[in-house]
């Protein structure tokens, strides 16, 4: 019975470790903040359903 318990604990450990690493990788990728639009910036308006969003493209010279 001891071998079965060790096997289950090792499988659970691998599963939890992979979940934690995946969560950390997602957090690191999403850490970058988008650039802040400035006055007279070029924006692209897109709509998804009833919600409109402005996406920053770049600054005007």
Over residues 24-58, the pLDDT tens digits come to 999 888 877 666 667 666 666 665 665 556 665 66
Domain residue ranges of the chain, discontinuous segments joined by +: 2-59
Whether the Cβ atoms of residue 56 and residue 43 lie closer than 8 Å to each other: yes
Cα separations in angstroms, 54 against 12, 30, 39, 50: 44, 19, 14, 13
Whether the Cβ atoms of residue 43 and residue 52 lie closer than 8 Å to each other: no
Question: Tens digit of pLDDT for each residue in 11-29?
Answer: 999 999 999 999 999 988 8
The structure tokens 């692209």 sit at 44
Burial class (CB in 10 A: 0-12, 13-18, 19+), 55: exposed
């Amino acid at each position: 019975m001891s071998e079965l318990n060790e096997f289950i604990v090792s499988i659970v450990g691998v599963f939890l470790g992979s979940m934690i690493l995946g969560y950390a990788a997602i957090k690191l990728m999403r850490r970058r903040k988008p650039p802040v639009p400035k006055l007279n910036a070029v924006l692209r308006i897109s709509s998804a359903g009833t919600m409109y969003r402005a996406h920053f493209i770049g600054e005007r010279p």
